[in-house]
Amino acid sequence: MKKIFILTGLILFFGAATFAAPIDITFDDGVYHITLKGKSFMKKVKFFSSEALITNREAHLKARAKLTVNAGFFDPQNGKTISYIVADRLTVEDPLFNENLTSDPILRKNLDKILNRTEFRVVECDANRTLHYEIVPHKSPVDFGCVVRTSAQAGPLVYPQLKLEEEFFIVKNKDGEIVRESASVLHKTARTIIGIKGNDELHILIFTDEHPMDLYDVQAYVKNLGLDRAMAFDGGSSTSMNYLDKYEVISTKGDGGGRSLKSFLVVN
């Protein structure tokens, strides 16, 4: 495995030198594995959305972030969200305001499944404002005394179990045959995956065009890593990552500038 970079950034504060927690990035066989260990990162992980679709690179520069990856689903026809996004404890993107989602008869029939797709959360609790990560269905309540600080919905849940039918990513007929598939969940493509391990480890996996996977492949991969839970963000041509001004991942499809997107995970 090739170790790409470990950030150890020196912080000076009132004359005392302390080391920031590292962002650990490895690259092996077409897969970037980004690990953020420790509670210090929990306050730095944020989601934001853009009114107009922009590339991951543009979002990275706008946020002045160390790390930026693509997040929720969106409608390329009208630029509106298909995923809930929470920023600074407020819902900033709501798929119910996407008329293409609510007017389509098939989607409207399955709207409850779509609206309850899996999301990643940073949750803040009690007077001490302690933080923790969650990967849960969107409609899952938070514990008493807690609030969702920031979150992005996408899906499906990948590990410990895939929820393809429950989250309306596949549809089967009465004979059990698959008649509808969304987000290429059964096909090998680039992927952005987020997972958690233990109390304070966040893992982001970028499966590039060099190593495309279907979600069954991804499930086996994250199980081998020992993650507790994992879910998918938008993938395929949306798969994007920028780290400082050193590393960039975009799909090889298109003009090479990267797909314009709606929402992003950033680490400052």
**What pLDDT is stored for residue 19 in this prediction?**
44
121 lies in a domain? yes
What 8-state DSSP symbol labels residue 29? T
Range of the domain at 200: 24-267
Please state, in angstroms and rounded to a whole number, the distance separating the CA atoms of residues 63 and 58: 9
Distance CA 182, CA 114 (A): 11
Q: Which DSSP helix (H) or strand (E) runs through 99? A: helix 99-103
The first and second tokens of residue 252, run together, are: 């090889």
Question: Is residue 17 a part of any domain in this protein?
Answer: no
Within-domain flag for 177: yes
pTM as predicted? 0.91
Per-residue pLDDT tens digits for 162-219: 999 999 999 999 999 999 999 999 999 999 999 999 999 999 999 999 999 999 999 9
Percentage of the chain surpassing pLDDT 90?
87
Does residue 18 belong to any structural domain of this protein?
no
Q: What DSSP assignment string belongs to 174-230? A: TTS-EEEE-TTTTS-B-EEEEEEETTTEEEEEEE-TTS-B-HHHHHHHHHHHT-SEE
**Cα distance between residue 199 and residue 69, in whole Å:** 22
Is residue 15 in some structural domain?
no
- The whole-chain average pLDDT of the chain stands at 91
* Phi, psi dihedral angles at 113 (to 5 degrees): -65, -40
**Number of structural domains found in the chain:** 1
3-state DSSP of 239-264: CCEEECCCEEECCCCCCCCCCCEEEE
Report which of 260, 35, 45 is spatially closest to residue 150, judged by C-alpha positions.
45
> What is the mean pLDDT of the segment spanning 214-235?
98
Summarised one tens digit per residue, pLDDT across range 239-266 is: 999 999 899 999 765 555 689 999 999 9
**Is residue 156 reached through a cis peptide bond, with omega within 30 degrees of 0 on the bond before it?**
yes
Q: Is residue 7, in this structure, part of any structural domain at all?
A: no
* Residue appearing with tokens 């979600």: 215
Q: Is residue 62 part of a domain?
A: yes
Q: Inform me whether the pLDDT recorded for 23 exceeds 80.
A: yes
Query: How many Å apart are CA 258 and CA 238, to the nearest integer?
Result: 8
The reply to whether 116 falls in a domain is yes
Q: CA–CA separation, 48 vs 250, rounded Å?
A: 19
The pLDDT tens digits for 115-173 are 999 999 999 998 888 999 999 999 999 999 999 999 999 999 999 999 999 999 999 99
